[in-house]
Structure 1
Amino acid sequence: MKKINRIITICCLLIATAPAVAEIQVLDYIVAIVNDDVIVNSTLQEKVQLVLDKWRQKHRRLPPRAQLEKQVLEELIISALQLQVAKRSGIQIEDSRLNEQLRDIAAQNQMDLPSFRDHVERAGQSFVEFRESLRKQMIMRALQKRQVVKRITVTDREIDNFLANQIQQGTASSEYHIWHILIATPEAASPEEIKAKEQKAQKVLAKLKAGADFQEMAISVSDARQVTESAGDLGWKKAGELPTLFNKVINKMAVGEIQGLLRNPSGFHIIKLVDKRDSEKSIITQTQARHILIKTNALVSDSEAQKRLEELKYRIEQGDDFAKLAQAYSQDTLSAAKGGSLDWINPGDLVHEFEEVMDSLSESQVSEPFQSRYGWHIVQVLARREHDNTKKARRVKADQQIRKRKFEAELQSWQRRLREEAYVEYRLVDR
C-alpha cells in the first residue's frame, strides 16, 4: 500500500501548493486498486476515447459512456494483473525487440518508421505512449505463451477426428461471421449466482429478439474479452475455430438468426450469425529447384564465398554439370548428396530471402550469388507446377483452429482465475 499512499500524498501536495488565485481544476483520481497497483481516471478516459474513436468509424450511435467505462476498466484490470505476473516472472521486452516490432508494424502499413511515427502523432496519440503500450502488449503475449500456449498440444488423432466431424456436419469448407455476447459465471458459483446470471442473460436475449442493437448490447453487458474494441464481433471463423458449444448449432442457423442461451463453464452465451461463406480449394505453385551453398566462417569471408560461387556459376554457364558441382562443393550436405536438389518446394517452405530470389528466376535460369541467414547460394529453377494442396492445407488449418480454440478457452479460464484471486477495489464514480 506504500505506492498508493505516495500517490495520495502527491495529490495532497499539489492541492496545498496550488496558488490561491489559480482556477480550480479537478485532479486525477484513482478508479481502481489492483493488488498493490492503481488505475487512474486519466488512463481509463484515454482508453475509452480510443474505443469511441474506433466505434465512430463503424457505427452511428455511440454506446452508453457509463457502461463503456465499466467494460474498459475491467479490461484494464485484467491487463494490470497480467503485467504484475509478468513482472514477478522476470519477463521483459528489450528496446531492440520493441523497435523491430515497430518497424514491422510500419512496414505492414507501407511506411518507414519515421513516417509511421508522424502518422501516430497526427492521429492525436503520443508516440512514446504508443510505444510503451505496444511493449505491454508484447509482455502480455510472452506471458500468455508461457502460461497458456506452451501447455496446448494437438495430436494427429485430434486432427483426424476434427476433419471427420467437419465432413459429417458439412462444414469442412464453411466460414462464419459471428457476433457474440457472454454473461459470465464465476468459478465455483453458487446455484443462486448461476440463476441470477441466467435471468440476466434471458433478459438480454429477449431485448435482442425484440430488435435491440446486438453490438450496443454487447458493449453494455458482455463479459467477453476485449468486447469494448470488438463490440462482440468475432469476425470470420472456421467452424473449428469456434467453441464446441457453438459448433453444435451454427450449421443449422440462418444468416441473421440469434441463438441462445448456450451454456458452458464460462457462462451463458448468445450468438448471431451475421454471414456465411465457403472457402475455396488451395491451389499453390510448387517450384523444383537445386542450389549450391557456401558457408562463411573465420576462414571464409562473405567476399570469398561470393567469389567462389561466381566461379561455379561461370563453369555452369560454360557447360559444367550443376549436379556434379553441387556434390563436390555445396556445404548443404543433405541436398549435395542429391546434386543440390531441393525437390518440390511449397511457398513458405524455405527462408524468405531464398524464396524471393528463387521466385524471380525463369526455368533453367541460374541466379547470381546471394546471401541468406545460412550463407551464400546460387540457385537454379528446374520446373514449376500448379499443385492442389487442399488436403495438406486442411490439416494445417485444422491444427491451427484446434490450437486457437484451446488457447481461447485456456486463456479465458486463466484470466478468470487471476481476477478471482486478486484484490480489486473499484472507485469508479457512478454517472
Structure 2
Amino acid sequence: MPLVLFILSFATALAPMQPVQAQNLFAPVAKVNNSVVSAYELSQRMAFLTLLRAPGDIRELALRQLTNERLQLAAADQAGIELEDEKLAEGMSEFAGRANLDTERFLQIIAQGGIAPETFRDFVKAGMLWREVVRAKFASRVNITDAEIDRAIAKAEPSTEVRVLLSEIVLPANTPQSAAASTQRAAQLAKITSLTDFASAARRYSVAPSKGRSGRLDWINLSDLPPAVASQVVSLAPGQVTSPITARNGIAVFQLREIQEINTPAASDVNLDYASYYIPGGRSPAALAVASKIRDEIDTCDDLYGIAKNQPEEVLDRDTLPLAQVPTDIAMELARMDNNEVSTALTRNNGQTLVFLMLCGRSRALEEDISRDEIVLQLRNQRLAALANSYLADLRADAHIEILEP
C-alpha cells in the first residue's frame, strides 16, 4: 500500500481510540540523567511510529528513540548548536514530502489519529540537531582518499561483484551496564590484527551463534551488507577490524579475512523483502522448539500468515525496505541468507522474544553511471553514520538511564 494511503487509513483507524488518561499524562516512564520521558510522549511516539510502519516492538523502539533523543539534544545544547525555525520547517516539509504531502496536510492527517503537531516537530527537530552535532564533531575527521574512491568505483562497476569473508564478534548491550562494558571491550577488540587472536576472542566473548565457529562467516556479497558495515569493510586489508558498530541490543566488530571479485553484476540499490515472526520465551528451549516446528511446516514467507492466523497482528511483520533502512542486526542476518531461509539468532524485548526471521526475496537495481562525487558523498555519509552510532553508544554508556515500570 502506498504510504500516503496507509497514513490516511491508519489515522482513520486511530480516531476512535481513547486518549491517555489525564492523570497519567506526565507520569515518567524513563529517566535520562536530569530529564524524564513522560507517558504522554511515549504514547505519542508509539502512535507516530505505528503510522510510519516501523517494524518490531513499537514500545521498545519508541522508548529507545526518546531516551536517545534526550542524549542527542543534550549534546547539541552542550555544543551550542541550535536550529532555526526556517530550517526546521524545511525539514518537516521534506519529511511530509516522502508521503507526497505538504506539511499542513500531513499534520491534518496525523491529527485525525490523535498525534499532536509537537510530536512530529520534536521528532524531526531531534534528528536534524543530531545530524548537525555529528557534522560539527566528526566532519573534519572524515577524509576520503582517491584510492578509496577508486576501490569503491571498481567494486560498484556492473562487470563485477565483490564478496568478502568476515569474522564477527557480537557483544551484549541490552542494558546500560552491559553496553558500557561492551563499548570498552569492543574498542580493544578493534585493535586486533591477527586472525588467530580474533578467533580466540570470538570464542571467548561473542554472544552470536557464530562463536562456535570462532566467529567465522561464509562468503557474503559486499552489496548485501548493511551500509554501516560495508562502508568500513571496503577500506580494510585482510586481518584488519572495523570500528565498533552499534546494533539493537548489541555492539559488533568485524574482521576481514579475504576479499574476492566474482563475475556477477554488482548491485547498488538492494531491496529486502523479509518477515519477522515473534515467539515468546527468547532463546529458551521451548521457544526454540516452536521455531524448529514452524521451520519444518513452512516453505515460503507467505506460509507464515497461516501460522499467525488468529493471533495478534503484531506477532508478524512483513517488510520490503531498501537495505539502508533495515536495522543493522537484521540486515547482517539477511546478508548471509538465501530466499526462504530462516534465522533464529536474534531476540527482542531484552531477550524475552525470539525473532523467527525469514528472507522472502532480494531485488537489485544495477547502476548505469558512476559519479566520483556521488561515491565521495556516499562514503562520507556512511563514515559519519558509523561515527554517529559509536558516539551515541558512548553517550548511552556514560549516561544514567532508568527505565521505569509502565
Give the TM-score of the pair, scaled to structure 1: 0.46
Larger Rg: 1
